[in-house]
Amino acid sequence: MKTIFIEGLIACAVFITVASVLGMMRMKDPYQRMHYISPPASVSAILITIAIFLQQGMKPESFKAVFITLVLIGMNTVVTHAAARAFRIAETRNWRPQDGEEVPIHRPDEPVERKEAA
Amino acid sequence: MNIWEIAAEVMIFTLVPLAWTTMRGDARHRLVSFLMAGVVITLLLMLLTMAFNRMPMMDVAITLALMSFGGGIVFARFFERHLP
């Protein structure tokens, strides 16, 4: 029973990672692509860590896996924000929204629906 | 062949599209693919550690996780100043 549970956890982790990579390939905008880093860094890492705990028990490698998961979750949030901020600064020299700029910001090649004045 | 090896082999194939996008396209797309590759390889090292039952290899995964954090920040700062 424990083996089946471990296999299920590993299968879910791999599926989430593969789906995230394929989803990332599908997106055309780097800001959209960034969102796909988060599922493998958080969910997959947690699932693999649980599987390692179930297989190994309270061993040093289990706690190392916990540390890796914490680093990945913390790293992902900081690095993704830093990269998005860097892209935005490179584009506009100021990463905060400018006066009158809509948030979310549309892609340059994305068709924008214009609202007709009532 | 156990489940850890199968999972590692499947996950290795996700590196092919990531390597492709890391080598082509504009700098922003390459950086995002690079960040994703760092996460995937870290998970892959965890799986390989369990697959081959070589527990000291978990230290390599820890090192990569920490180094890719630093690398990502450095690249982001570089792009902030020098990306055209």
The predicted-structure confidence for B38-70, as pLDDT tens digits, reads as follows 999 999 999 999 999 888 889 999 999 999 888
Q: CA-CA distance, A9 to A79, in Å (whole number)?
A: 27
CA distance, residue A118 to nearest chain B CA (Å): 40
Q: B74 in contact with A at a CB cutoff of 8 Å? A: no
Contact B75 A83 (CB under 8 A): yes
Contact A14 B7 (CB under 8 A): yes
Q: How confident is the model at residue A89 (pLDDT cuts 50, 70, 90)?
A: confident
CA distance, residue B51 to nearest chain A CA (Å): 11
| Chain A residue nearest residue B71, CA to CA | A79
3-state SS track over chain A: CHHHHHHHHHHHHHHHHHHHHHHHHHCCCHHHHHHHHHHHHHHHHHHHHHHHHHHHCCCHHHHHHHHHHHHHHHHHHHHHHHHHHHHHHHHHCCCCCCCCCCCCCCCCCCCCCCCCCC
The predicted-structure confidence for A55-85, as pLDDT tens digits, reads as follows 988 888 889 999 999 999 998 899 999 998 8
Q: Give the tokens for residue B39.
A: 């996460």
Chain A partners within 8 Å of B59 (Cβ): 64
Q: CA-CA distance, B40 to B7, in Å (whole number)?
A: 12
Contact A21 B18 (CB under 8 A): yes
Q: B4 in contact with A at a CB cutoff of 8 Å? A: yes
Q: ipTM value of the model?
A: 0.90
Chain B partners within 8 Å of A41 (Cβ): 39
What pLDDT, on the 0 to 100 scale, is given for residue B24? Answer: 86
Give backbone dihedrals phi and psi of A102, rounded to 5 degrees, phi first. Answer: -80, 145
State percent of chain A over pLDDT 90. Answer: 51
Domain ranges in chain A? 2-92
In this prediction, residues A33-52 reach a mean pLDDT of 93
What pLDDT, on the 0 to 100 scale, is given for residue B84? Answer: 60
Contact B43 A17 (CB under 8 A): yes
The predicted-structure confidence for B12-34, as pLDDT tens digits, reads as follows 999 999 999 988 888 888 999 99
What pLDDT, on the 0 to 100 scale, is given for residue B82? Answer: 76
State the pTM of this model: 0.86
